[in-house]
Amino acid sequence: MDIYTHLFAPFADYGFMRRALVACFALALGSGPIGTFLVLRRMSLMGDAMSHAILPGAAIGFLIAGLSLWAMSLGGLIIGLAVALLAGLISRITDLREDASLAGFYLISLAAGVLIVSLRGSNVDLLHVLFGSILSVDNQALLLVASIASLTLITLALIYRPLVAECFDPGFLRAVAGRGSLYHVIFLILVVLNLVAGFQALGTLMAVGLMMLPAAAARFWAAEVWSLAALSIVMAFVSGWVGLLISYHFDLPSGPAIILTAGTFYLLSILLGRHGSIRARFFPGAHFHEH
Amino acid sequence: MSDTAPVLTLSDLTIAYDRQPAVHHLGGSFARGSLTAIVGPNGAGKSTLLKSIVGLLRPSEGRITLSGVKRSDIAYLPQQAEIDRSFPITVADTIALGHWRHVGIWRAVTGPRWKEVDAALEKVGLTGFGQHPIAKLSTGQFQRVLFARLLVQNAAVILLDEPFAAIDERTTADLMEIIAFWHAQGRTVIAVLHDMDEVKRHFPTTLLMARELVGWGATAEVLTDANLRRARALADAWAHLLKPHKHESAA
């Protein structure tokens, strides 16, 4: 009875908690695999930079249409993609490396976004855009997040093989299948789409948290792409669930509670994980032969 | 096994990075079934040449003509440095990528094709390693895996970029046997190599280059002291002419 009260009752009793939980589940389904590929492609920081790049787009949407789900999502999507492609282009036509180029764009985006929101909105609006509010996710937002998750999983299934090959041995893929950059661009679109989905619930600053933390943590436990993705989904979902409960029981903001739960998984994985963790490196038990 | 019919012809080929030529007006042809070593000083454009043959780089001038083979009949072994060896993939899955020409993006790798993967594993001396993650392999073992993938690719033309770099002697000898086997089957094999003794021992034909052509023909006639001196002098001259830049490592 007590367990039920603590773990399940809040979701049974309140519609907004249920919607938040479903939103987390949908987010986990899309963001888990995307985060996995970001980690494998050594693009973890890029996810972070891109999430900030969404801000000015969402802010322009806000400027035009107020707190409209569709205007802010569309704005975020367009500007996010533009920044991703521009950063890639700049690093190709100049001597600047892609990470430095992204860092430049991300700082400009963040500043521009905050400025644009403040042109019309209040601090409350700014907080909403920056940190989201998963507890006020309505059915429309839920539909958007679920659609993006479905689209992500279907697309990933369709391009799984070339995406893996491109990640692992790009020269081979381009030699056997022609242009690998097509898959890279499709993947970038998926990254931005999932960040837009996450931004509904967690805001632009933390949307990337549910994407990167479970994926980075999974690296310490799983040894194949599919199992990494599956584990990321599970950890992202459990982070959402536990985070929402912590937020409910202790009256804490939900976004940080969710991300910090994912962060706890990450830290525990660094310490205790099966592959390459501190425990596996320095205290290898009888079951683990690392070398 | 080779006849004189060309399988690959380079016509006045120039490949440039940022308008700086890595390969300069190179011309000649690889005979069908030939076994050719590409040698030259560092930065001579050897890897660049292979990359442009596979289609990874576009020539800025001149062209590459394939005769009687399609682009998909060419298999390519990249340098190990260009592959992410920490990637979470098994040995068998890596080798199965060699079936790409048949299975493409969507089709499943079926039973008989997995048998080919097993056969290739056996041929490179890694029976039983199929389910190992590649991250656990030594450099030599990983090169064996890449050779197994080439075996599965079953291509008419095989390009190898420094196949023996940082590889132990035993593995080099085993892999050299596979190259000889391909040659005996009538496939065209082109390898970028550094070890001149190896080239002299195993490769009947040699292309010596230093961004431009120095010599191309029977190995003994190409690898003369005069030619090697000329290659070094050319490499130095080019190095003085061009300033270093970010793509140099790929040249």
Judge whether A291 lies within some domain.
Answer: no
Query: Looking at residue A1, what is its pLDDT?
Result: 57
Kindly state whether residue A233 falls inside one of the protein's structural domains: yes
Closest listed residue to residue A73, CA positions, set A237, A254, A194:
A194
Chain A residues whose beta carbon lies within 8 Å of the beta carbon of residue B94: 168
- Listing DSSP states for A237-288 in one string gives HHHHHHHHHHHHHHT--HHHHHHHHHHHHHHHHHHH-SSSSHHHHHS--TT-
d(CA A77, CA A106): 15
- The secondary element (H helix, E strand) that includes residue A130 is helix A123-131
**Residue appearing with tokens 């030599």:** B140
What pLDDT is stored for residue B248 in this prediction? 46
Boundaries of domain holding A132: 2-282
Instruction: Examine the pLDDT at A235 and tell me if it is beyond 50.
Output: yes
d(CA A201, CA A50): 17
Residue A160 lies in a domain: yes
Tell me the chain B residues in contact with residue A175 when contact means C-beta distances shorter than 8 Å: 54-56, 74-76
What pLDDT was estimated at residue A287? 54
Query: What is the predicted pLDDT for the residue at B1?
Result: 44
A178 touches chain B (CB under 8 A): yes
Contact assessment for residue B15 and residue B23, using Cβ atoms and an 8 Å cutoff: yes
Instruction: State whether residue B66 sits within 8 Å of chain A by CB.
Output: no
pLDDT band at B130 (very low <50, low <70, confident <90, very high): very high
| CA neighbor of A262 nearest in space, from A229, A236, A244 | A236
Residue A33 falls within a domain, yes or no?
yes
Chain B nearest CA to A179, separation (Å): 9
What is the predicted pLDDT for the residue at A290?
Answer: 46
Tens digit of each residue's pLDDT (9 = 90 or more) over A3-49: 888 888 888 888 889 999 999 999 999 999 999 999 998 888 888 88
Question: Of A95, A168, A176, which is closest to B83 when you measure between CB atoms?
Answer: A168
Residues of B in contact with A164 (CB under 8 A): 89
Mean of pLDDT values over B148-177: 94
* B190-206 tens-digit pLDDT: 999 999 999 999 999 99
Residue A290 lies in a domain: no
Is the residue at A212 inside a domain? yes
Average pLDDT, integer, range A124-131: 75
Query: Is the whole model's pTM more than 0.90, yes or no?
Result: no
Ordered structural domains, chain B, with CATH = 1-69+157-165+188-244 (3.40.50.300), 77-155 (no CATH)
> Percent of chain A at pLDDT above 70?
97
| Residue A154 scores a pLDDT above 90 | yes
What band does B249 get if pLDDT is binned at 50, 70 and 90? very low
The answer to whether the CB atoms of B83 and A171 lie below 8 A apart is yes
Which pLDDT band holds residue A150 (cuts at 50, 70, 90)? Answer: very high
Which pLDDT score is estimated for A291? 46
CB neighbours of A229 closer than 8 A, spacing ≥ 6? A32, A33, A36, A218
Report pLDDT digits (tens) over B7-52.
999 999 999 887 788 888 999 999 999 999 999 998 888 999 999 9
How many helices (H) and strands (E) chain A has is answered by: 14, 0
Whether pLDDT at A246 is above 60: yes
Pairs across A and B, CB distance < 8 A: 64
Residues contacting residue B139 through CB under 8 Å, at least 6 positions apart: B80, B166, B167
Residue of A168, A183, A220 to mutate for B, most B C-beta atoms under 10 A: A168
- A112: pLDDT strictly greater than 70: yes
Provide ipTM, 2 decimals. Answer: 0.82
Sign of the Cα torsion A265, A25, A81, A254 reads negative
Closest CA to A83 of A119, A58, A118: A58
Which chain A residue shows the shortest CA-CA distance from B107?
A: A161
Look at residue A204 and tell me if it is in a domain.
yes
Task: Report the gap between the CA of B157 and the closest CA in chain A (Å).
Answer: 13
The beta strand positions in chain B, using DSSP E, are 6-17, 20-31, 35-39, 61-66, 74-77, 157-161, 188-192, 205-210, 212-218
**Domain at A152, CATH number:** 1.10.3470.10
The DSSP code for B185 is T
Cβ contact (<8 Å) for B87 and A40? Answer: yes
Domain count for chain A: 1
Domain assignment present for A288:
no
